[in-house]
Amino acid sequence: MNIIKCVDKAYEKLNFIELADAPVSALQGVSAKDAEVLNKAFHVKTIRDFGMLKFVKWAAAIATLAEQVESEEDKAKETLLDDALEMSFPSSDPISVNSGITRIEVAPEMVEASSDHQNSMAIEPPNKS
């Protein structure tokens, strides 16, 4: 963006710090009368005041975010995706390492290793003498 296209000719050579302190009427398209109205309504005197005005920030944020949403269909898809994620991963559930296990409701009973192991027949029972 060329800053020269944003300010009146008299302000083209100023640096950004000087421009920020310039009157709001230094912006191209903002007349002295417009600047007077801004001053009365919002106490805006400089470009800095105008840029820091919370309403200007809100409007810029809304406009920027609105550009990201392409259509009603995209909004609907995004809502469905958000809902699906919310149902799939409630914040109270731990993240599962194994995709087959998502929640353990009741801990399994302890299994005797000597009978449940793949080589259980190779294990000799302890001597009870």
What would the mean pLDDT of 55-71 be, rounded to a whole number?
Answer: 87
Which domain, by its residues, includes 18? 3-69
pTM beyond 0.75: the answer is: no
Please report whether residue 59 resides in a domain: yes
Please report whether residue 45 resides in a domain: yes
Q: Which residues contact 100 (CB under 8 A, 6 or more apart)?
A: none
Please report whether residue 120 resides in a domain: no
Residue located via tokens 């060329």: 2
Angle at 22 between CA 17 and CA 24, to 5 degrees: 125
Please report whether residue 103 resides in a domain: no
Q: Among residues 3, 28, 35, 27, which one has the least CA distance to residue 16?
A: 3
Collapsing DSSP to helix, strand or coil, 88 comes out as helix
Please report whether residue 75 resides in a domain: no
Per-residue pLDDT at 122: 60
Judged against a pLDDT cut of 60, whether residue 49 lies above it is answered with yes
Q: Which residue has the higher pLDDT, 27 or 119?
A: 27
Count of domains observed in the chain: 1
Please report whether residue 17 resides in a domain: yes
How far out from the chain centre does Cα 81 lie?
A: 16
